[in-house]
Amino acid sequence: MKKATKKEIEAIKAAFLERYSDAVTELSYVNPYELVIAVALSAQCTDKRVNLITPALFEAYPTPKDLAEANIDDVKHLIQSCSFFNNKAINLIAMAKRIVDVYGGEVPLDEKELVTLAGVGQKTAHVVLIEYTQANLMAVDTHVFRVSHRLGLSDDPTATATEATLVKKFKTNLHQLHQGLVLFGRYICTAKNPKCDTECFLQPFCKSKDGFKAR
């Protein structure tokens, strides 16, 4: 597959920024505590499903202290429709305990601190910081990975390597580009039956036989 040229990368970046300049996560939350939980739950689970789960969870455990003291079976029951709910319930309680014990009940908005929380890896930390602080970071989920490869922005085999490549190529406005890549992949450049001829505004740059059919 061909790689995007420097000129194409600049054009792709401009198109994303024009289309998605105000894009934000589709996860529902009101504070960093709710956001980090929602992002952690969204791993291998859709945002739509997470948004169905979290209202009751947040009502039952409105603060880190409440969640830290929660009964594991009660938490599992509330999130049982989420993928890997057993492990996620364990991690949520452990995460809350550390937030209370180490950070005084406040979610640390720093990557090095965030990744010390149970269930929070680099991608989750980046998504939280991108959304809440508009940090100049990139995070690669299945949508970003797919779009990046179809557009010739990356041919890396892993999400971590793809992230590094996107950071190197885009450099700035990464939080907006991340949100744009996610939404573009979720609704237009879908895994199956991408909307190439009806909604795609990046047809001239597509390098994939699964994407723009005219190439």
Active site residues: 123, 141
Q: How far apart are CA 128 and CA 120, in angstroms?
A: 10
Conformation bin of residue 75: beta by default, left when phi > 0, alpha when psi is -120 to 50: alpha
Long-range contacts of 140-148 (CB under 8 A, 24+ apart): 140/166, 141/182, 142/185, 142/191, 143/181, 143/182, 143/184, 143/185, 143/186, 143/189, 144/178, 144/181, 144/182, 144/185, 146/185, 146/189, 146/191, 147/181, 147/184, 147/185, 147/189, 148/181
